[in-house]
Amino acid sequence: MGLFDFLFGNKTKKIEDFKSRGAIIVDVRSKGEYESGAIPGSKNIPLQKISSKMGEIKKWDKPVITCCASGMRSASAATILKSSGVEAMNGGGWFSLSQKL
């Protein structure tokens, strides 16, 4: 395990694990940002609506990978989801995440 993996975890392996368990990708950018380009099959739930959609998200009963433009909003979304009992991880920027999928 390299220093980077030790400090930040191996995101690619975690993404593979989540994918193998049917993870849902939630893009937390605005509707306009999402419509300008997104990961096929992802769901658009803007960050400010995550809390109000928690019941729906929990019903999926799947791990969630969050993404946004750079990884800042998706980090916040993943924290909110985890604090509500949803298995979630920050996938970072949507374009970078799409390359890892």
**Using 50, 70 and 90 to split pLDDT, how confident is the model at 53?**
very high
* The pLDDT value given to residue 12: 84
Give me the percent of the chain exceeding a pLDDT of 90. Answer: 82
**CATH fit for domain 10-100, picks 3.40.30.10, 3.40.250.10, 1.10.3720.10, 3.60.60.10:** 3.40.250.10
Q: Which amino acid is at 11?
A: K
Is pLDDT at 77 greater than 70 in this prediction? Answer: yes
21 C-beta neighbours (distance < 10 Å), count: 10
Give me the percent of the chain exceeding a pLDDT of 70. Answer: 91
* The pLDDT value given to residue 1: 39
What is the average pLDDT across 51-64?
97
Is pLDDT at 49 greater than 80 in this prediction? Answer: yes
Task: Find tokens 């099959």 and name the residue.
Answer: 41
For residues 27 and 44, is the Cβ–Cβ distance under 8 A? yes
Is pLDDT at 8 greater than 80 in this prediction? Answer: no
Domain boundaries, given as residue ranges, for the chain:
10-100
5, 24, 9, 22: which is closest to 77 by C-alpha? 24
Whole-angstrom CA distances from 54 to 37, 78, 85 are: 24, 12, 10
What is the average pLDDT across 68-76?
96
Whole-prediction pTM = 0.90
